[in-house]
Structure 1
Amino acid sequence: MAVVSSETEGREATAGGRERARRGGVARRVVGVVAGIAFAAAAVYAQTFTLSFDQRGSALTVKGAVGELVETNRFSAKVTSVVAAHAVESKDTTDKVTEVETSNLFLVVDVTATTPKRPLQLSRLQPPVLLTADDRRYTPTDKVDESLTLFNKVIQPGLWSKGVLVFEIPEDALPGLRFVLIPPQGGIVVDTFVPEAEIDLGLSDAAAARLVSQAERVHSLVGKS
C-alpha cells in the first residue's frame, strides 16, 4: 500500500489552494470586466438618449393657443384662462385661509386636461413650466397649498380634469409667454419621445401691459380646486 507523507500532503494542499485562488481571481476579474462594460454602456445610453429640456426636438412639441385644445397621443390639454394677481388666498397646514403675497406677480393658469389611455398626475419633479420669449423657465410656486391646484388631481382616461397652476413671474417676462406641459415620467431612463404641449398665452406687449393693469389685488384659490 502506498504511503503519502504529511509533507507531501501539505505540498499538494498548498498547490490545490493556489489553484483555487487563481481560478477565483480570474472569475472575479471576468465579473468585474463584464460589470464595467455594462456600466459604461448604460452611461453612454443615458448620455445619448436623455436630452435636456432645451434639446428636445420641435417634432415632439404640439403647439396651440390659449382657448384651443392641444392634442397629443399621450394627453390633451387646454388653457382656458390666465389671471394675474398681486396676492392669492391659499390654506395653511391647519386649513386656515391665508393671504400669500409676492414681490413679482402671481399668474394663475386655468388648465383642463384628459388622457386617452393611462391616468396621469402632475409631479413636482417634472412639472409644467412657463417658458418666456428668451427661454427662461418658471415652475409653479410652492407658496400655495397643492390641494388647491391641478397637482391634486389624477387625470383619468376619457374624463376631463380641471384645475389651476400658480406661478410667480416678473412683469417683464410676460410678453411672448408660453405654457408647456410635459407628462411626468418614472424610472431612470427618460423617454425622449414623450410629446409636450406648448400653449401660447397670447401675451403681446399690449396684452401683457393690459394684464398687469388689470391684476387683482388678491385672487382666491380656496374652493376652486
Structure 2
Amino acid sequence: MAVTSSETESREATAGGQKRTRRGGAARRIAGVVAGIAVAAAAVYAHTFTLPYEQRGSALTIKGTAGELVETKLFSAKVTSVVAAHAVGTTGTTGQDTEVETSNLFLVADVTATTPKRPMQFSRLQPPVLLTADGRRYKATDKVDESLTLFNKVIQPGLWSRGVLVFEVPEDALPGLRLVLIPPQGGLVVDTFIPEAEIDLGLSKAAAARLVSQAERVHSLVGKS
C-alpha cells in the first residue's frame, strides 16, 4: 500500500517524539539521582549540629531524683542538697570576698559527679540548666566566681568530684524544677545523641514554699570549693 507524504511526516514526527521522550526520561532519572544525593548530603550535614533541647530524644535523657545516683554511659551524678539564698558570698575581681544579690532567688545545687572512662569538665558553652515545669530554662549565673563552682572541677574516672551550681530563678519557677546536666562537646561535629541526666529536685509546691521561707540571707561559696 502506498504511503502518503502526510503519513510519512506523521510517523517521523512520532518516532522523533519517542526519542525525545526517552531522552527526557533519562534526564529525569539523572536529576532524581542528583537530588537524592543532595538530600543525603544535607542529612549528614544536619547531623553535625546539636539539636535544641526540646528536640532531643527522650530515650537519651536519664532521669532521677535528688539524692539518687543518676548514671549515663559518659558520667554519673547526684544532687546532694539544694539551698536558696537572697545573696551569695563570692570572690570579686580584686580577689577579695564580696556579696552579690539578686532580684530573684539564688538556688545553689550541691553536685557530686564521676566518669567511667575519660576525664570530663562541664562547660558554659553547653552548660547545665534548670528546667521548669512549663519549659523555661535557666543557665548558671555569671555573678559568682567560676573557680568556686563545679565548672572549675575536672571530673576524673573512678573519682568523685564535688561542686556547686548557682542559678538565679524567680520563686514561681521552683515547683517541679529539674536540673539537666549536659556533657561538654568539642569541635564542629558533635553527637546529637549524647546522653544527659535530668534530676528532679523534689520541689513540690509545699517544698518550694518551705525552701523560700528558709532562704538564707547570704550563702557563702568561699572556702567550699
TM-score range, shorter chain: 0.7 to 0.9
Cα contact 2:47–2:192 (8 A) shared by 1? no
| Runs of 4+ more than 2 Å apart | 38-50
Cα distance in structure 1, aligned partners of 2:209 and 2:180: 22
Indicate conservation of the 8 Å contact 1:46/1:189, yes or no. no
AA in 2 matched with 1:199:
I
Alignment deviations for residues 147-204 of structure 1 (CA, whole Å, 9 cap, x no partner) = 0000110000000000000000000000000000010100112202211000000000
Q: Number of aligned pairs?
A: 189
Q: Does 1:174 align with 2:177?
A: no
Report the CA distance shift for 1:39/1:141 in structure 2 as closer, same or farther (over 3 A).
Answer: farther
- 1:147 matched residue in structure 2: 147
Q: Which amino acid aligns with 1:127?
A: P
CA RMSD of aligned residues (A): 1.8
Using the TM superposition, give the Cα deviation of residue 41 of structure 1 relative to its aligned residue in structure 2, in angstroms: 6.4
Q: Deviations over 1:22-74 (max 9, x none)?
A: xxxxxxxxxxxxxxxx9986654233564211111110011100000001110
- Is the 1:76–1:115 contact (alpha carbons within 8 Å) kept by the matching residues of 2? yes
Partner of 1:78: 78
Correspondence 1:130 to 2:141: no
Contact 2:57 2:193 in 1 (8 A): no
Q: 1:162 to 1:170 in 2, by over 3 A?
A: same
1:183 is aligned to 183
- Unaligned ranges ≥5, structure 1: 1-37
Query: For the Cα contact (< 8 Å) 2:88–2:218, is it kept in 1?
Result: yes
- Aligned residue for 1:206, secondary structure, equals helix
1:45 match: 44
**What SS does the corresponding residue of 1:117 show, helix, strand or coil?**
coil
What letter is aligned with 1:105? Answer: L
> How far apart in 2 are the matches of 1:86 and 1:199?
23
1:181, 1:99 → 2: CA distance?
Answer: 27
Residue 218 (structure 2) aligns with: 218
Q: Which amino acid aligns with 1:140?
A: A
The correspondence of residues 32-71 of structure 1 with structure 2, limited to 5 A, is: 43-48=42-47, 50-71=50-71
Note closer, same or farther for the CA distance 1:39–1:128 as it changes in structure 2 (3 Å cut). Answer: farther
Q: Percentage identity across aligned positions?
A: 81
Cα offset, 1:207, TM superposition: 0.4
Q: Distance in 2 between matches of 1:203 and 1:78?
A: 16
CA-to-aligned-CA distance 1:65-98 (integer Å, 9 cap, x gap): 0000001110000000000000000001221000
Q: Which residue of 2 aligns with 1:17?
A: none
| Structure-2 change in CA distance of 1:148 and 1:42 (3 Å) | farther
- Distance between the aligned counterparts of 1:114 and 1:204, measured in 2? 28
Q: What is the TM-score normalised by the length of structure 2?
A: 0.80
